[in-house]
Structure 1
Amino acid sequence: MPINFGIIGTNWITHSFVKCAHSTSKWNLTAVYSRKQETAQEFASRYKSKDIALYTSVDGLANDTNLSTVYIASPNILHYEQAKTMLLAGKNVILEKPSCSTVSELDHLFQLAKEKGVILIEAFRHIQEANFKILKSAMASLGPLYGASITFAQYSSRYEQVLAGETPNIFNLEMGGGALPDLGVYCVAAAIDLFGAPKDSIYYPVKIATGADGAGKLILSYDTFSVYLCHSKIYASDAPSEIYGEKGTLLVPTVTDIESVVLCDAKTKNRTELARPKEPAEWNLKDEAEEFARCIEQRDQDAIDRYEQLSRDILRVLEKSRRDNGLLFPGGI
């Protein structure tokens, strides 16, 4: 039987998740929450089912006994309270990145999930992609690691609003915004999934007029090497991401939606393409939808525990980076 699920957040990423989830035949959208009835109705109207319940109350969605799982893709600052409400109601939660503002908030959510016997998973789609997993497996061929660089820099059209004196949510600390939680989190998640939790981290943000970071450089330190992360929403970069080892280098053009994984042999200079043909970008959430359904259906505790630790390690770096540089969210967190 498909997993009946509801959604919080009626933006493009939510539509992408619903479309990809439905394509697996393992999910069935049964409820939509929005603050406005007309917005919920418009979202639901794109899907064939006539049995999609509409809610303008988070508590109403939480009390819907026809669904077991809720996908949350609301503004960052709302994640903790909304996820807490759903977990207390006994719902599994798939929580878009970044999960919470602080590690203590995330710890509380995982504690609630365990107490209620449900699952909480953070939705890092890129580490579920087939070619990312190929990249991770290929690291064994590099021998001792010497370092890595990971870049994700895209110019945001909403930066034009900042230049015009406005404060859009994505660049608003009051809403949990900034380049690090929006794009930098992809780099941090990739690095920690590939190399594990770092011993230390140092963040060098580029602060903009709103007080948030519009870009930044982050250095993760490990026992024998360092990883350099570069992210931005105020400039673009086509720089590839690379992993350096004694026996060779792995090169990918982007850290998400990976189309190519090239292994460059240090001695022979030969280049070998390892990537599989990827599906069109419109299906780039399908792998995570498949994996999350598997975790829920099979109650794969090993995988669930692994994802829990990954989320903690990622958020620990994000929180430290913000606090070290005075990038504080409401309440000084």
Structure 2
Amino acid sequence: MAIKNRIGVVGSGPISCAMIDAINESSNGEVIGIWGRRFHLAKELAKEKGVSKVYGSLNEVFEDDEIDTVYIATPNASHYEPAMAAIEHGKNVVVEKTAFMTIDQANRVFHAAEKQNVFVFEAVRSIYEPNFQILKNAIKKLGKIHGATLKYQNYSKQYSALLKGGKAPLFDENHGGGTLRTIGIYPIYIAIQLFGVPVKSFYFKQLIVKNIDLGGTCIFEYKDYKITMLISKINLTNDSISEIYGENGTLRFHSLYDIRTISYRSIINDIEETISEPISDNSLLYEITEFSECILMKNRTAYREQKNITLKAISIIEQALNGGTL
């Protein structure tokens, strides 16, 4: 029997449900048990997914000797404590994006993981998807890069509640909300993966509600070009197409995660060809398979690469929200 990465799930919301399906679909992982703030919901999810264990407390998750890895899918602001507790118990950690609120938290977590000889991964699905790899390889078709526009604009009904003085946790930075932290991570990760670390970065907020990150324009400045990211939870748009421009043509792709359509249009012959491939209905499959492979094979080279990207992305977000530049 093949050795598998045995995973305990912390959180019982929609993303946990999708991740459990992805783990079950993978060839190298299995779900051992589930914990949720509301025990009855965790119990219902476990029954639905055929998971035998439902934990009554977080400590039960960390103390379970059957578990190799803890998957954390609680609200952003509550990632740090369970991640540190899992590491202290010798568990690997997969934590939903955005992994940690500050670069100080991230450094502490990764330092603790090094001491315990375990791995910590941030679950940003897009960079593990097969079509992202196709996109990355297709960059060379463009020749000299002229720039790019990366879009993630998705209107949230919580904006209306915010304007009326109601609850809007999506925009509450005290609970890990705010547009840059919740969805801005996708274009930032993609930009770093495709183009490297920028020379400078800037974030221009939409200044509609004071001290609330509703979205805005993030710019990465490189030596010869700029990457523009349009990020918003208050703009309604029918066009989510992102583009990368070069001397020879343009790459276009729909969505910054769950990437299903990529095309290349050549300036030479003005022909647009589709270069993407069909992928799984559940695109979380690719990241969890990669994480499990890395953990089982103890691939520290791949781990360090992903750790460095996480640290750089969190640093950029933190400085941008504080009004600074990289």
Question: Which bin holds the TM-score, normalised by the shorter protein?
Answer: over 0.9
| One-letter amino acid matched to 1:169 | P
Task: Name 2:270's counterpart in structure 1.
Answer: 269
The residue that corresponds to 1:44 in the other structure is 46
Q: Partner of 1:216 in structure 2?
A: 216
Say if 2:275 is the partner of 1:258. Answer: no
Equivalent AA in structure 2 for residue 252 of structure 1 = F
Residue 279 of structure 1: how far off its partner (Å):
2.8
Cα-to-partner distance string for 1:93-141 (whole Å, 9 max, x where unaligned): 0011111111121111111111101110111101111111100100011
* Equivalent in the alignment of 1:291: 290
Counterpart in 2 of 1:101?
101
8 Å contact kept, 2:198–2:222: yes
RMSD of equivalent CA atoms: 1.5
Structure 1: tracts of 5 or more residues without a match: 326-333
TM-score (norm: length of structure 1): 0.92
Q: Which runs of 5+ in 2 are unaligned?
A: none
Q: Could you say what secondary structure the match of 2:152 adopts?
A: strand
Q: Measure, in 2, the Cα distance between the counterparts of 1:67 and 1:148.
A: 42
The residue number in structure 1 matching 2:37 is 35
User: Match for residue 28 of structure 2?
Assistant: 26
- 1:330 counterpart residue number: none
Change (3 A) 1:177 1:273: same
**AA matched with 1:130:** P
Aligned residues: 321
Counterpart check, 1:249 vs 2:256:
no
Aligned counterpart, 2:162: 162
CA contact (8 A) 1:125 1:285 kept: yes
Q: Quick one: structure 1 residues 44 and 210, their matched pair in 2 at CA, closer, same or farther if it must change by over 3 Å?
A: farther
Deviates more, 1:26-35 or 1:173-182: 26-35
Asked if 1:228 is matched to 2:228, the reply is yes
Residue by residue over 1:191-217, the C-alpha shift from the partner in whole angstroms, topping out at 9 and shown as x without a partner, is 111111111111011245473211211
- Aligned partners of 1:85 and 1:239: how far apart in 2? 39
Contact 1:252 1:261 in 2 (8 A): yes
CA contact (8 A) 1:29 1:52 kept: no
Q: Structure 2 CA distance, aligned partners of 1:105 and 1:192?
A: 21
- Return 85-94 or 269-278, whichever deviates more: 269-278
* 1:321 counterpart = 2:323: no
Q: Distance in 2 between matches of 1:81 and 1:199?
A: 33
Deviation string for 1:64-119 (max 9, x for gaps)? 11211010111111111111111111100001111111112111111111110111
1:328 corresponds to = none
| TM-score, normalising length: structure 2 | 0.94
Match of 2:63 in 1: 63
**1:120 counterpart residue number:** 120
1:308 is aligned to 307
Structure 2 contact 172–178 (Cα < 8 Å) conserved: yes
Amino acid at match of 1:16: A
Paired with 1:43 and 1:7, the residues of 2 have a C-alpha distance of 11
